[in-house]
Amino acid sequence: MKKTVLVCVLSAVMMLTSCGVSNKTILRYQKMETGVSNPTTIEELKDAIKKYGERASDVQLANSQIGIWYKILGTKYIDNKMYGEALKCFQEALKYYPDNQNLYYYVGVCAGYMSHASLDFGGSGTTEVKYNYLKLAEEAYLRAISIEDRYVRALYGLGVLYVFELDEPEKAIPHLEKAISIDTKNLDAMFVLARAYYSNYEFDKSAAMYDKIIATTKSAETKATAEENKKTVLDAAYSN
């Protein structure tokens, strides 16, 4: 009996597909067939991916749904600080959505975190694994902004990577300048840009950026931090 019901559902879906029925209708039949509705937990998402994967050749839109669930599963892993597992999910999701800037952004975030966990457990004396993760993060952020050039989160992520991880502040500057030209009150980006100017020996620009932070923020703590950093910049300028 169960097999008969399954065959009927599949036949109905094929008929609907050939008649050009809406995606919502097709998805409703997918859910009937697989027993999958709206997965939310990590285990439910993994089970949904497995079930849809098994029927992907039979039901239209299955692949796109799997890609969406891999993305959701990846963000769930990020919420739980499981960056290695999240990275695997976003890698899979990109097979279905290779031009999605958000997926590349998440790859960059996860790769950055994984670089911090890449200790030299074998005692080889190299940092190759860490460096490879950092370059993956760079490539992912660059890909994200090549798709959406006003993507502030990716511009900021790239700036952080260049300033604090790869020690290439000169590369960070144009990306961070663009980020704050789009999001004019992004204090995090301003702080990183001020640091990039300082590391690149552009002391006047660094001090001016701290002034901008002081003028923008309403937080006494943030203002105090900016003032302290500005003093450091001016001391460095006077000593040179």
Taking the C-alpha atoms of residue 87 and residue 106, their distance in angstroms, rounded to an integer, is 8
User: What single-letter DSSP state applies at residue 81?
Assistant: T
* pLDDT attached to residue 45: 83
How large is the average pLDDT for residues 17-36? Answer: 45
Query: Is 61:23 a contact under the CB 8 Å cutoff?
Result: yes
Q: Which two tokens stand for residue 12?
A: 């109905």
Give the burial class of 4: count Cβ atoms within 10 A of its Cβ; 0-12 exposed, 13-18 middle, 19 or more buried: exposed
Residue-averaged pLDDT of the chain: 85
Task: Write down the pTM of the prediction.
Answer: 0.76
Q: Which range among 36-45, 65-74, 181-190 shows the weakest confidence by mean pLDDT? A: 36-45
For residue 11, how far is the Cα from the chain centroid? 39
Q: Supply φ then ψ for residue 170, to 5 degrees.
A: -65, -30
Q: Where are the beta strands (DSSP E) in the chain?
A: none
Confirm if 171 and 191 have CB atoms less than 8 A apart.
Answer: no
Residue 218 is given by DSSP the state -
Residue of 36 and 121 predicted with greater confidence: 121
Which position has the higher pLDDT, 175 or 6?
175
Confidence class for position 54, pLDDT limits 50, 70, 90: low
For tokens 């302290």, name the residue: 228
| Residue spans of alpha helices (H) in 183-219 | 187-199, 203-216
Considering Cα of 104, then 105, then 108, then 109, what sign does the dihedral take? Answer: negative
Is the separation of the CB atoms in 233 and 207 below 8 Å? yes
Residue 195: both structure tokens together:
């640091």
Q: What is the pLDDT of residue 11?
A: 40
And the tokens for 119?
């200790």
Residues 6+ apart with CB under 8 A from 176: 155, 156, 159, 189, 192, 193, 196
Cα 107 to Cα 121: distance, rounded to the nearest angstrom: 24
**Signed CA dihedral, 144, 145, 151, 155: sign only:** positive
Predicted confidence at residue 140, as pLDDT, reads 98
CB atoms within 10 A of CB 120: 12
Alpha-carbon gap, residue 13 to 221, rounded angstroms: 60
